[in-house]
Amino acid sequence: MEKPKVKNAARAAGRRAKPRRKPKSLYTPAEVAEMFRRFSIQRPEPKGELEHVNAFTLLVAVVLSAQATDAGVNRATRGLFAVADTPARMLALGEEAVGAHIRTIGLWRNKAKNVIALSEALIRDHGGDVPGDRDLLTRLPGVGRKTANVVLNMAFGQPTMAVDTHILRIGNRIGLAPGKTPDEVERRLLEVIPHEYMLHAHHWLILHGRYVCKARRPECERCVIADLCKAAVKTSSIPAPLVPPEPAAPAEV
């Protein structure tokens, strides 16, 4: 009798087939370079939308922005930073008064505690300065890897990739950097994005996710990489003109 055919060599050898590793990206290096070349023309100087006046207020704003919108954080920090723009002034203000300024932001009690604790730690361990080092930053109360990456990028000009909800979604939706966790997506993006674009890549992807490749319904007809995009579901494959940039539409968070 003829033997049933085995499907692959691993089964033939009686071993379990290893799970296939996800590709780090669905795109060739040339396609990724073209994508970021277009983003760089569309927004030559992309900026974060959290208001701040120095590295310390940037750090505080990013800590406050967890599970809150940038607009909501800005409304709260305008008054706060007018009276406390250094760790010493924040400490002098005290937890209760910080809480009163940020009461409109989610998790404000815990965040007020962290802002005071991180001000104390900056004075005690860093002479009141914000350190430009990821390990030192992530030892501060309330500061995780994403917050540290934002501060390193915006305050210290380091080519870091802070993966927020928009970048996590885009990385997976279009197959640019598939991954289950922010760390996995961050690692893959760092592998595939050409170095020359890394400094601004984080902002380009956030702004693209916030205004065009939105969570509920991507606006592919307004997308400058629609022809390159390999998302499973798209509403257009015709790239939008590179200029002028899109008008400031209401942000989807």
Name the residues that contact ligand SF4, by CB under 6 A.
Answer: 173-174, 212-213, 218-220, 223, 225-226, 229, 231, 234
Residue 139 vs 234, nearer CB to ligand SF4 = 234
CA proximity to 206, closest of 167, 151, 158, 157: 167
Smallest gap from residue 190 Cβ to ligand SF4 (A)? 20
Catalytic (active site) residue 146: yes
Smallest gap from residue 170 Cβ to ligand SF4 (A)? 7
Catalytic (active site) residue 111: no
Question: 175 exposed, middle or buried (CB, 10 Å; 0-12, 13-18, 19+)?
Answer: middle
**Whether 140 contacts 118, CB under 8 Å:** yes
Smallest gap from residue 220 Cβ to ligand SF4 (A)? 3
Q: What letter represents residue 137's amino acid?
A: L
Q: 138 Cβ partners below 8 Å, 6+ apart?
A: 144, 145, 148
Smallest gap from residue 234 Cβ to ligand SF4 (A)? 5
Catalytic-labelled residue, pool 7, 135, 146, 214: 146
Instruction: Calculate the dihedral angle through the C-alpha atoms of 172, 173, 176, 179, rounding to the nearest 10 degrees.
Output: 0
**Whether 223 contacts 207, CB under 8 Å:** no
Residue 131 vs 171, nearer CB to ligand SF4 = 171
Residue 111 vs 173, nearer CB to ligand SF4 = 173
Catalytic-labelled residue, pool 3, 113, 164, 214: 164
Smallest gap from residue 113 Cβ to ligand SF4 (A)? 38
CA proximity to 26, closest of 243, 250, 229, 253: 229
Fill in the DSSP letter of residue 133.
-
**Whether 24 contacts 192, CB under 8 Å:** yes
Between CA 7 and CA 90 the distance in angstroms is: 66
Tokens representing residue 11 in the block: 């089964």
Residue 182 vs 218, nearer CB to ligand SF4 = 218
Residue 10 vs 41, nearer CB to ligand SF4 = 41
Between CA 133 and CA 8 the distance in angstroms is: 48
**Catalytic sites, residue numbers:** 146, 164
